[in-house]
Amino acid sequence: MIRSLKTVLASLIAAGLVASAAPPAQTAVKAAEPALLTSCGQSPGPIMLKVVMQRLKIGFELNSLATAADLKSKAEAGTPYKTLIIVMGASLKGMGAAGISIDDELKRTTALIEEARREGLLIIGAHIEGMKRRAQGAAAGDTTDEQSIDAVAPNAGLLLVNKEGDSDGRFTAIAKAKNIPMIEVEKNLDLVGALQKLFGK
């Protein structure tokens, strides 16, 4: 009977039926410095990551309105960025203060990702503000947060997500569908350990 169960289990594993139920694997991907930290949606998320990265002494620059031209100019100057971190999550207040719309943000982000790919940068899509920075917490009819996620997450080489913000499985589904490694943190204090390991600090 035991031998029979082992045989069935082995067959399931070989068929990928057991593995398919598992969550996205924690990543062995390594990030390199310097990093460019930016936003897609002008939420406060990049400032939260800035504090963690400063604490770990990770070489980075924060430019919430970074463009493809910024990547090109650094590369042409011989000091290219090695990692691009795009924080997902839209703030109508933040975009209003910057004088831009979500359409402006999506166009800028798309061009930024295309240039980062051309230059071979690791693209990290980060969502660290939980469900309060998701459509569930937005005003009726406001889909800007989800548009931000759609623009970045499927095009990332790595996802860094606050677990509470994935309570509906949104990021897990994207990670599985696109075969993207994903790091989940229980709370934002855990970002210290996650980025420390990711950047080898």
Question: In this predicted model, which residue has the larger pLDDT, 23 or 19?
Answer: 23
> What's the confidence (pLDDT) of residue 70?
97
Q: Does the pLDDT of residue 19 top 70, yes or no?
A: no
Bridge partners (DSSP) of residue 122 are 83
Query: Per the structure, how many domains does the chain have?
Result: 1
**Which pLDDT tens digit goes with each residue over 163-176?**
999 999 999 999 99
- Does residue 8 form part of some domain? no
What pLDDT does residue 28 have? 76
Residue 1: what pLDDT?
Answer: 37
| CATH assignment of the domain containing 72 | 3.40.50
pLDDT surpasses 90 at 8: no
The verdict on residue 126 lying in a domain is: yes
Domain membership of residue 9 (yes or no) is no
Q: Would you say residue 69 lies in a domain?
A: yes
Mean pLDDT, rounded, for 149-160? 97
Tell me: pLDDT of 123 over 60. yes
Q: Band of the pLDDT at 99, cuts 50, 70, 90?
A: very high
Distances (CA, A) of 47 to 5, 141, 154, 201: 52, 27, 23, 20
Which domain covers residue 85, as residue numbers? Answer: 27-199
| 85 in a structural domain | yes
In a domain, 11, yes or no: no
31-57 average pLDDT score: 96
Q: Establish if 20 belongs to a structural domain.
A: no
Q: What is the mean pLDDT of residues 128-156?
A: 82
Asked whether residue 57 is domain-assigned, the answer is yes
pLDDT at 17 over 70: no
What whole-number distance in Å separates Cα of residue 159 and Cα of residue 9? 31
What is this structure's pTM?
0.84
**What local confidence, expressed as pLDDT, does residue 135 receive?**
62
